[in-house]
Chain A
Amino acid sequence: MSKTLLFFLFFFNQLLFGQFENFDYKTNPPEVFENQNFSLIIELLEFENVNQAVLFFRGFGEGDFISKEMIIQGNSLIVEIDGRDVKPPFIDCYVKGLTENGVEFTYPQKAFETKNFIRIDIKNKTEQSGELILLNPVQDDILTKEEFFIAFSILRVKESLDLTKIRIMLNELDISRLIQISDDLVYIPQGSQFELKTGVNSLKIFLYDKSGKLLKELSVLFQIISEIQKKEFEKIKFVLNGSAELNLSNENLRYGSNNFNRLNLLVNSNYGSIFSNANVFITNEEKSFLQPQNRFSFLLYNNWFKLNIGDHFPSFPSLILSGKRVRGFGTDIKLGFINFQATYGEITRKIEGNLLTLIKRDTIVLDPNLIKIDSIKYGQPFGLVRFGNFSRKIFAVRPYFGSGENFQLGFTYLHSRDDENSIEFGSKPRENLVIGSDLFLGFDNKRIQFNFQGAFSFLNNDISLGNISDSTLDSLKNNNNLGIDADLLRKIRDLLGNFITVNQHISPLNPHKLPTLALETGLSLNYLGNYFKGNYTYIGNDYSSFGQNFIRTDIKGFQILDRISLFENRVFLSLTYERLNDNLQKTKITTTTFNNYETALSLYLRNNFPIINFSFSNFDTKNDIDQFTNDSLSLMNMINDNIKVFNFSSSYDLKYFIKHKLSFNFINSSKTDLTPKDFSSKFNSFNFSIQNIWKKDLNTFIKTTFSNSKIKNTDFDYFSITLGGRLSLFENKLTNSASLSVFSGDLKRSVLDLSARYSFMKNLYSNFNLRYIFNSSNIKNESIINFSLRYELY
Chain B
Amino acid sequence: MKLYSKLLLTIVPIIIFIGSNNIATKKTYTAAVVTKVIQEVKHKSGNEDWQTTKPLTQLKTNDLLKTGQKSVAVLKYVDGSILRVRENSTIVILADKREKGLIKNTKIENGKLVFDVNKQSDDDKFIITTPTAVATIRGTSGLIEVLDDGSTLLLLQTGSIELESLGLNRQTSVVEAGTSSLINPDGNIITNELTEQQKQSLSNAYKTNEKTIKVQTNRGNFKIYYLDSE
Interface residues of A (CB under 8 A from B): 35, 83-84, 125-127, 129, 133, 135-136, 147, 149, 151, 153, 155-156, 182-185, 187, 189-190, 231, 234-235, 237, 273, 302-304, 334, 403-406, 442, 445-446, 529, 565-571, 601, 603, 605-609, 612, 614, 616, 646, 648
**Per-residue interface assignment for chain B, residues 103 to 124, with 1 indicating a CB less than 8 Å from any chain A CB and 0 otherwise:** 0000000000000001111101
Given contacts A183-B30, A303-B197, contact A234 B189 (CB under 8 A): no
**B228 at interface (Cβ–Cβ under 8 A)?**
yes
Q: Which of A187, A231, A404, A603 contacts B11 (CB 8 A)?
A: A603
Cβ B196 vs Cβ A35 within 8 A: no
Cβ B8 vs Cβ A185 within 8 A: no
Given contacts A185-B30, A605-B14, contact A84 B122 (CB under 8 A): no
How many whole Å from A34's CB to the nearest CB in chain B?
A: 8
**Per-residue interface assignment for chain B, residues 172 to 196, with 1 indicating a CB less than 8 Å from any chain A CB and 0 otherwise:** 0110011000000000011111011
Cβ A603 vs Cβ B56 within 8 A: no
Cβ A151 vs Cβ B121 within 8 A: no
**B15 at interface (Cβ–Cβ under 8 A)?**
yes
Instruction: Chain B residues near A184: list those with CB within 8 A.
Output: 30, 78, 97
In the complex the two chains form, what is the Cα distance from A130 to B199 in whole Å? 35
Given contacts A135-B76, A529-B174, contact A155 B191 (CB under 8 A): no
In the complex the two chains form, what is the Cα distance from A125 to B7 in whole Å? 26
How many whole Å from B2's CB to the nearest CB in chain A?
A: 12
Instruction: Chain B residues near A614: list those with CB within 8 A.
Output: 7-8, 11
What would 28 A/B residue contacts be, using CB atoms closer than 8 Å? Answer: A35-B159, A35-B177, A127-B79, A127-B119, A127-B124, A129-B121, A133-B80, A135-B35, A149-B56, A151-B33, A151-B56, A153-B79, A155-B102, A156-B79, A183-B97, A184-B97, A189-B56, A234-B212, A303-B196, A303-B199, A405-B195, A406-B192, A565-B174, A567-B18, A569-B160, A603-B11, A606-B17, A608-B122
**Top 8 nearest A-B pairs by Cβ distance?**
A153-B78, A303-B196, A183-B30, A405-B192, A133-B80, A182-B30, A127-B119, A303-B200
How many whole Å from B187's CB to the nearest CB in chain A?
A: 13
Q: Which of B58, B120, B160, B178 contacts A185 (CB 8 A)?
A: B58
Cβ B190 vs Cβ A403 within 8 A: no
How many whole Å from B60's CB to the nearest CB in chain A?
A: 8
**Per-residue interface assignment for chain B, residues 71 to 88, with 1 indicating a CB less than 8 Å from any chain A CB and 0 otherwise:** 000001011100000000
In the complex the two chains form, what is the Cα distance from A182 to B122 in whole Å? 25
**Per-residue interface assignment for chain B, residues 189 to 217, with 1 indicating a CB less than 8 Å from any chain A CB and 0 otherwise:** 11111011101100000000111100000
**B139 at interface (Cβ–Cβ under 8 A)?**
yes
In this complex, how many residues of chain B approach chain A with their Cβ under 8 Å: the count is 53
Interface residues of B (CB under 8 A from A): 4, 7-8, 11, 14-15, 17-19, 29-30, 33, 35, 54-56, 58, 76, 78-80, 97, 102, 118-122, 124, 139, 158-160, 162, 173-174, 177-178, 189-193, 195-197, 199-200, 209-212, 228
Summarize A's interface: helix, strand, loop or mixed: loop
In the complex the two chains form, what is the Cα distance from A177 to B47 in whole Å? 33
Summarize B's interface: helix, strand, loop or mixed: mixed
In the complex the two chains form, what is the Cα distance from A302 to B201 in whole Å? 12
Given contacts A190-B55, A334-B196, A605-B17, contact A127 B7 (CB under 8 A): no
Instruction: Chain A residues near B197: list those with CB within 8 A.
Output: 303
How many whole Å from B93's CB to the nearest CB in chain A?
A: 13
Instruction: Chain A residues near B79: list those with CB within 8 A.
Output: 127, 133, 153, 155-156
Q: Which of B58, B76, B195 contacts A403 (CB 8 A)?
A: B195
Q: Which of B78, B159, B193, B228 contacts A133 (CB 8 A)?
A: B78
How many whole Å from B116's CB to the nearest CB in chain A?
A: 13
Q: Which of A147, A235, A302 contacts B55 (CB 8 A)?
A: A147
Instruction: Chain B residues near A126: list those with CB within 8 A.
Output: 119, 121
Q: Given A126-B121, A149-B56, list of 5 further CB < 8 A pairs?
A: A83-B158, A126-B119, A135-B76, A603-B14, A614-B11
Instruction: Chain A residues near B162: list those with CB within 8 A.
Output: 568
Who on chain A is nearest to B140 by CB? A35
In the complex the two chains form, what is the Cα distance from A529 to B175 in whole Å? 11
Cβ A445 vs Cβ B189 within 8 A: yes
In the complex the two chains form, what is the Cα distance from A153 to B11 in whole Å? 37
In the complex the two chains form, what is the Cα distance from A607 to B17 in whole Å? 12
Given contacts A35-B158, A404-B193, A605-B18, contact A612 B11 (CB under 8 A): yes
How many whole Å from B34's CB to the nearest CB in chain A?
A: 10
How many whole Å from A232's CB to the nearest CB in chain B?
A: 11
Q: Which of B55, B78, B119 contacts A125 (CB 8 A)?
A: B119
Given contacts A153-B79, A183-B97, A569-B160, contact A84 B192 (CB under 8 A): no
Instruction: Chain B residues near A334: list those with CB within 8 A.
Output: 196
Query: By CB atoms of chain B within 10 A, which of A126, A273, A529 has the most?
Result: A126
In the complex the two chains form, what is the Cα distance from A569 to B161 in whole Å? 11
Cβ A616 vs Cβ B15 within 8 A: no
Instruction: Chain A residues near B200: list those with CB within 8 A.
Output: 273, 302-303
Instruction: Chain A residues near B54: list those with CB within 8 A.
Output: 190
How many whole Å from A230's CB to the nearest CB in chain B?
A: 10
Cβ A646 vs Cβ B139 within 8 A: no
In the complex the two chains form, what is the Cα distance from A334 to B119 in whole Å? 35
